[in-house]
Chain A
Amino acid sequence: MNAAIGEWLEASRQKLQAGSLTTEDLDRLTDLVKEPRQLVLYLYSKSSNMRSPLASWMLYDARQPQEPTLPSQQPPYGSVLAAVADGWRIVQFPDTKLYAYQGVDNDYLSFEFILEKMV
């Protein structure tokens, strides 16, 4: 059993005996039994170093209504490492073989990290 649900049951048995179980407690259980949802965050770093500043970013959150939000020039984190410190897990690291120094043509944004968080 999920440890958090076990703790909820233990606490709720005591509340039930004391007559203090509330609808808020049931709402908390609802939250606990929900399947986690994946948040996906694209971060484009200025280099393959996770401490480098960011060039671009995009958060995909399927839980939220897909509504327009105004553009921003304020990155959500200062670096990929700062996002990891906030609980994001990296699911794709940039493949450095894609960034061989040849020619003079730039194309896509560089150093694409993809991160996830289960919430």
Chain B
Amino acid sequence: MTTIKPTLDDSGVMDFVASGYVLLEGVIDEAFNHRCNALDGGNVDAFIASDEFTQTVLLHPQIAGVARSLLGEDFLVPAGGHHHLFEQPHMGQTWHSDGLSGSGYDVTELQCYYYPHAVEIEDGPTMILPGSHCRAVDREAIAHYGDIMGQMSLTVPAGTVVMTRYGIWHKAGPKTNNRRRGMLKFSYHRQAAPQRDWCIDTPEIPAYVDRPRLAYVSEVESYRDRVRRMRTWNWLCGLDMEVALRWEKSRPVSQLIGENER
């Protein structure tokens, strides 16, 4: 039986904790990308669940390796999904999130975007806002937002897969041409309790090393982001910050009284 090997190291996981996405450019080969040419928009459960898609995309060593790194052993592999297909020019979707990953600090779902064709800026690429995956909002209440500093248009080569923490703000960008732009969306889920079982060199769990402040984030928001990221990092490592703090602020009774007095 083939084992799915994790591909991210500590630094890669920390990057994901901060940004909320992993970008795998051009990992799916051209022959399979062409297989998506005739795919209609809408529900594509059967195609996603097919053996060909499962073997070529879902269990691809790089893609499944990220899922293994972030969701632990025996993660759930998608058996369905949606084909977002745009052909005519349009204004673009409005910014929205699809929800939060788990209860907020944890990582329980990776929502993935697979692009069978190269995407240029005029094609209306998916746009994501790095770091927004922790911002719990009413998805309709951010619909009036326009350009945001640090937003990312996913102009990518064919065969690219982007794996996002569920909850990242995203939208289809404005499309100014008539070229077909498709994206298959599907999600992996966690089953295992979190532990630091990705690619590691030493057994000691390193402290979270924060990433640079994102362009749209204010000073005070960056403090909050840092705390959120530390909590998510600790959670992924199998640590619980509340429990850790309790230990830090407490002493065992054996240190205060003799062993035989207990």
- Give 1 or 0 for each of A67-101: 1 = CB within 8 Å of chain B CB: 11111110100000000000000000000000001
Q: What is the chain A residue whose CB lies nearest that of B169? A: A109
Q: Knowing A67-B91, A71-B173 are in contact, say whether A106-B221 is a contact too (CB < 8 A).
A: yes
Q: For the complex formed, measure the closest distance between the CB of B244 and the CB atoms of chain A, giving whole angstroms.
A: 16
- Give 1 or 0 for each of B42-67: 1 = CB within 8 Å of chain A CB: 00000000000000000000000000
Enumerate A22-70 residues with CB–CB distance to B below 8 Å: 42, 44, 46-47, 54-59, 66-70
Measured in the bound complex, the distance between the Cα atoms of B37 and A117 in whole Å is 47
- Verify if B90 is at the interface (C-beta below 8 Å from A): yes
Q: For the complex formed, measure the closest distance between the CB of B149 and the CB atoms of chain A, giving whole angstroms.
A: 5
Selected contact of B141 from candidates A69, A72, A108, CB within 8 Å: A108
- Give 1 or 0 for each of B222-241: 1 = CB within 8 Å of chain A CB: 00110110010000000000
Chain A residues within 8 Å of B89, by CB: 67-68
Number of interface residues of B (CB under 8 A): 39
Q: Are B216 and A109 in contact (CB under 8 A)?
A: yes
Q: What is the chain A residue whose CB lies nearest that of B226? A: A104
Q: What is the chain A residue whose CB lies nearest that of B218? A: A46
Q: Knowing A68-B92, A106-B134 are in contact, say whether A101-B146 is a contact too (CB < 8 A).
A: no
Q: Are B174 and A105 in contact (CB under 8 A)?
A: no
Q: Are B91 and A68 in contact (CB under 8 A)?
A: yes
Q: For the complex formed, measure the closest distance between the CB of B230 and the CB atoms of chain A, giving whole angstroms.
A: 9
Enumerate B154-175 residues with CB–CB distance to A below 8 Å: 173-175
Q: For the complex formed, measure the closest distance between the CB of A69 and the CB atoms of chain B, giving whole angstroms.
A: 6
Measured in the bound complex, the distance between the Cα atoms of B143 and A109 in whole Å is 12
Chain A residues within 8 Å of B91, by CB: 66-68
- Verify if A10 is at the interface (C-beta below 8 Å from B): no
Measured in the bound complex, the distance between the Cα atoms of B221 and A101 in whole Å is 10
Chain B residues within 8 Å of A105, by CB: 104, 134-136, 224, 228
Q: What is the chain B residue whose CB lies nearest that of A69? A: B174
Q: For the complex formed, measure the closest distance between the CB of B118 and the CB atoms of chain A, giving whole angstroms.
A: 17
Q: What is the chain A residue whose CB lies nearest that of B146? A: A58
Selected contact of A59 from candidates B124, B136, B146, B218, CB within 8 Å: B146
Q: Are B224 and A104 in contact (CB under 8 A)?
A: yes
- Verify if B122 is at the interface (C-beta below 8 Å from A): yes
Measured in the bound complex, the distance between the Cα atoms of B148 and A73 in whole Å is 7
- Verify if B247 is at the interface (C-beta below 8 Å from A): no
Chain B residues within 8 Å of A107, by CB: 135-137
Measured in the bound complex, the distance between the Cα atoms of B144 and A44 in whole Å is 12
Chain A residues within 8 Å of B149, by CB: 54-56, 73, 75
Measured in the bound complex, the distance between the Cα atoms of B122 and A70 in whole Å is 7
- Verify if A110 is at the interface (C-beta below 8 Å from B): yes
Q: What is the chain B residue whose CB lies nearest that of A46? A: B218
Apart from A55-B215, A68-B91, A71-B127, what 20 extra A-B contacts exist at CB < 8 Å? A46-B218, A55-B149, A55-B216, A55-B217, A55-B218, A56-B145, A56-B147, A59-B146, A67-B89, A70-B173, A70-B174, A71-B121, A72-B147, A104-B227, A105-B104, A105-B228, A106-B224, A107-B136, A109-B216, A111-B218
Smallest CB-CB A-B distances: 7 pairs: A58-B146, A68-B174, A104-B227, A55-B216, A56-B148, A104-B224, A46-B218
Q: Which A residues are closer than 8 A to B by beta carbons?
A: 42, 44, 46-47, 54-59, 66-73, 75, 101, 103-111
| Sample (20) of A-B pairs whose CB atoms are under 8 Å apart | A42-B144, A46-B218, A46-B219, A55-B217, A56-B146, A56-B148, A59-B146, A66-B91, A67-B91, A68-B90, A68-B92, A73-B147, A75-B149, A104-B224, A105-B224, A106-B134, A106-B221, A108-B141, A109-B145, A109-B148
